[in-house]
Chains A and B, each alone.
Chain A
Amino acid sequence: QVQLVQSGAEVKKPGASVKVSCKASGYTFTSYGISWVRQAPGQGLEWMGWISAYNGNTNYAQKLQGRVTMTTDTSTSTAYMELRSLRSDDTAVYYCARATNYYDSSGYYIGYAFDIWGQGTMVTVSS
């Protein structure tokens, strides 16, 4: 079945980096993008960015520019998200999600949404 399986929980000190993996199965990895979404405890969803699994193009949320890097390894159908210079407010559950493009009746691209999600990875930043 179509699924995304993420790496396990992480505990990091402020200033460190974390790299979370997201392994895809059950579909053609390079036919979709992958987005990363995080959720701080008791808070809403925050989009972090998107990467094309086809060509590696990226689009990062402005507030994370310079601290986040998203990559893919097509040989293993795995996406990665690295966040650097961690702060306490980076403590959150991090999700990867498959980004599916949608088109109108004329074939015009109209946007994307997240139809498959990973199980989430808890990242705790604490001294």
Chain B
Amino acid sequence: SYELTQPPSVSVSPGQTARITCSADALPKQYAYWYQQKPGQAPVLVIYKDSERPSGIPERFSGSSSGTTVTLTISGVQAEDEADYYCQSADSSGTCVFGGGTKLTVL
């Protein structure tokens, strides 16, 4: 089965850049999507198709891809960005998979 691996936690100070990686264990890599989830809330899509940003998502959120690893980058991190972040993709059969999630702490 297709698996996505994320670091459990990332910590940054306000104003710094946070990078959260998501590694796929299979080739070819499918496109990836990123979600932000704050405590007690439903997830919100922040990046789709590896690097595209939905309307309403701040420009400080960006995504990139290299080989079988995708990266969510948050530039100029703000306190409100503290949340859990999940990557998501799908295998060739359409079966969806989520990464284990990364807790972003703003120091």
The answer on a CB contact under 8 Å between B98 and A113 is: no
Question: Chain B CB within 10 Å — which of A35, A45, A47, A61 has the most?
Answer: A45
B98 surroundings in chain A (CB, below 8 A)? 37, 44-47
Say yes or no: A118-B96 contact (C-beta < 8 A), given A110-B30, A111-B90, A112-B90.
no
User: What is the number of residues of chain B that contact chain A, defined by CB distance less than 8 Å?
Assistant: 27
Distance of A112 Cα from B94 Cα, bound (Å): 8
A50 surroundings in chain B (CB, below 8 A)? 94, 96
The answer on a CB contact under 8 Å between A59 and B93 is: yes
Query: Looking at the complex, which of B10-18, B19-27, B40-48, B69-77 is the stretch in contact with chain A?
Result: B40-48
Determine the residue in chain A with the shortest Cβ distance to B42.
Answer: A117
Closest beta carbon of chain B to A16's beta carbon, Å = 25
B contacts, CB < 8 Å to A: 1, 30-31, 33, 35, 37, 42-45, 48-49, 54, 84, 86, 88-90, 93-101
Instruction: Supply 27 A–B pairs (Cβ within 8 Å), ascending by A.
Output: A37-B43, A37-B98, A44-B100, A44-B101, A45-B101, A47-B96, A47-B97, A47-B98, A50-B94, A50-B96, A59-B94, A61-B95, A95-B42, A95-B43, A102-B49, A111-B30, A111-B49, A111-B89, A112-B94, A112-B96, A113-B48, A114-B35, A114-B43, A115-B45, A115-B54, A117-B44, A118-B42
A contacts, CB < 8 Å to B: 35, 37, 44-47, 50, 59, 61-62, 95, 97, 102, 110-115, 117-120
